[in-house]
Structure 1
Amino acid sequence: MSETDSDERASESGSPTDETTRDLDGANRSKEDVVLRVDELRKTFGGLVATDDASFEVERGTITGLIGPNGAGKSTLFNLVSGFYEPEAGRVEVNGTDVTGAAPHEVAEHGLVRTFQTPRKLEGMTVREAMLVGPQRQAGESFFALFTATDAVTSEERTNLEDAHRMLEEFGIGDLARQPATDLSGGQMKLVELARAMLADPEILLLDEPVAGVNPTLANTLAEHIERLNEAGTTFLVIEHDMEFIMNLADPIIVLDQGHVLTEGTPESVRSDERVIDAYLGGGGA
């Protein structure tokens, strides 16, 4: 079951009211160089609250973790931030620009790109062709340009193809370029999706459970790539249920519970926080 389904089912089963909500520290809102700012985002399904005035900031250059029990609202929050859901209240800023309610491609143009918990295999495409979906603002997307700027379109496609091959090589999967995208394993698709997202040249990349269903060896490989990309300048916000993976990778960690930001801190402080432990036990585990 997807996190979004869990969010909605948790709401439908009757989440605790404000009277029973745990004491909230909330997030650290005093960061100096903020690439993503989320203010009081609210989303309901059928009148039941999934994301309840959630607020936090992601500092440029970090790998920030977003954790919480099933139904906490994590994927709903990702969908709101990236433009796949429209919030009923609140504000989203990317690099100081208000992108609240903008379409996903418009949010991406401002530097925020996301991946999905279950990568989408593009039917009828090779891996190389699937990679070419990644670059933003391609001239060839304009029907008019195909006839009036043929040379520019051809040149750009050649550059994008070279970039796609280079990115596949960087991720150690260059040999998959001509493979049908539908023939890849789930783990290989995770690598392709991460590589494709990087072709959009994101300033902040949201990863939705990057190691879900992935074997430990490939999980380590993904962690190494995330750290490498982060050192090169990409900021990450990562949802992950694998606590060992996220605690070793991310700092700080934001904890979401019942649609609220419960607390934010270092992996060590979050791991030992009794409220976080209680949230997971009450939420049915990680």
Structure 2
Amino acid sequence: MSEQSLVSDGPILGKDDPVLRAEGLEKRFGGLVATDDASIEVERGTITGLIGPNGAGKSTLFNLVSGFYEPDAGSVSVNGVDVTGQKPHEIADQGMIRTFQTPRKPEGMTVREALLVGPHNQTGESIIPLFTSPSTVEQEERRSLEQAQQMLERFEIGDLATQPATDLSGGQMKLVELARGMMAEPDLLLLDEPVAGVNPVLADKLAGFIEELNEEGITFLIIEHDMNFIMRLADPIIVLNQGSVLVEGPPEAVRSDERVIDAYLGGPSE
């Protein structure tokens, strides 16, 4: 079978067990069409890559499926639950968490405290249990602190636990973002350019962590411009161009596909 035949023209839909299903998503900003009838499915247990040239609509698609933008048309479901138009925290409750390309450094927090905003639906989020169930709140806080320290140790930044989060480098913040996402115990983790601005040694370490988490059952959808990084990790890879899915397939077949080369180079391939 040729590599060309392995690549689907447009998205591969009807997958056996999709964690995320987005159908016919459209988003316009004035006269600009950011996504145009974009559909994707992320199969449970995969590391799925989302690539495309600048302006292809990748970040807009991420914002649509995670609730930061409301689609003009189309639908989004997570674990079989329709989450179209829901707020980010409501979508997170269904098991999908995202990170950001440029994570903010929390002011006035230690690194460990920055992880404590990760868990969802904690008893202490409401003021009433502070008076009616103080022991439960205290137990949850203690458990969350222990979990946060374990996450920091896992990602080899345990020694930074008590440092101000504002003192971290960009690469260290990428690790903190990954750890914070895992604090929410997601089924699907969306990573937006996890190695942008990260040195090669740390990028390799991040790739290893993602592979380990995937082996433990975490599904990933990753936007990334670093082709070596995404080609190492992801299968399948979805290519977005001009707001819609151009092709989808295994990494090596996608890399050599003429349509993908044309999209990146802006003209016919030689």
Fold in common (TM above 0.5): yes
Give the distance between the partners of 1:111 and 1:40, measured in 2 at CA.
Answer: 22
Structure 1 residues without counterparts, runs of 5 or longer? 1-23
The residue number in structure 2 matching 1:108 is 92
Counterparts of 1:192-207 in structure 2, within 5 Å, are 192-207=176-191
Per-residue CA shift, 1:126-166, capped at 9, x if unaligned?
00110101011111110111111111100100000000001
**TM-score, normalised relative to structure 1:** 0.90
Counterparts of 1:75-154 in structure 2, within 5 Å, are 75-154=59-138
1:30 aligns with 2:14: yes
Per-residue CA shift, 1:169-228, capped at 9, x if unaligned?
111110000000000000000001100100000000000000000000000000000000
1:181 aligns with 2:157: no
Amino acid at match of 2:49: G
Matched position secondary structure for 1:227: helix
Matched position secondary structure for 2:248: strand
1:280 aligns with 2:236: no
Give the distance between the partners of 2:122 and 2:256, measured in 1 at CA.
Answer: 48
Matched position secondary structure for 1:164: helix
Structure 2 residues without counterparts, runs of 5 or longer? 1-7
Amino acid at match of 1:116: F
Give the distance between the partners of 2:82 and 2:204, measured in 1 at CA.
Answer: 35
Amino acid at match of 2:226: D
Structure 1 stretches of at least 4 aligned residues deviating more than 4 Å after TM superposition? none
Equivalent in 216, 224, 242 of residue 208 of structure 2? 224
Per-residue CA shift, 1:52-105, capped at 9, x if unaligned?
010010000000000000000000000000000000100001011000110000
Amino acid at match of 1:102: Q
Amino acid at match of 2:68: F
Amino acid at match of 2:54: N
**TM-score, normalised relative to structure 2:** 0.95
Question: Aligned-pair RMSD on alpha carbons?
Answer: 1.0
Give the distance between the partners of 1:75 and 1:115, measured in 2 at CA.
Answer: 11
Give the distance between the partners of 1:131 and 1:262, measured in 2 at CA.
Answer: 37
Give the distance between the partners of 1:104 and 1:179, measured in 2 at CA.
Answer: 29
**TM-fit CA distance, 1:47:** 3.0
Counterparts of 1:228-267 in structure 2, within 5 Å, are 228-267=212-251
1:165 aligns with 2:163: no
Identical columns (%): 74
Per-residue CA shift, 1:98-122, capped at 9, x if unaligned?
0011000000000000000001100
Equivalent in 44, 52, 59 of residue 36 of structure 2? 52
Give the distance between the partners of 1:123 and 1:148, measured in 2 at CA.
Answer: 31
The number of equivalent residue pairs is 260
1:61 aligns with 2:49: no
**TM-fit CA distance, 1:30:** 2.7
Give the distance between the partners of 1:37 and 1:171, measured in 2 at CA.
Answer: 30
**TM-fit CA distance, 1:25:** 1.4
Give the distance between the partners of 1:153 and 1:219, measured in 2 at CA.
Answer: 37
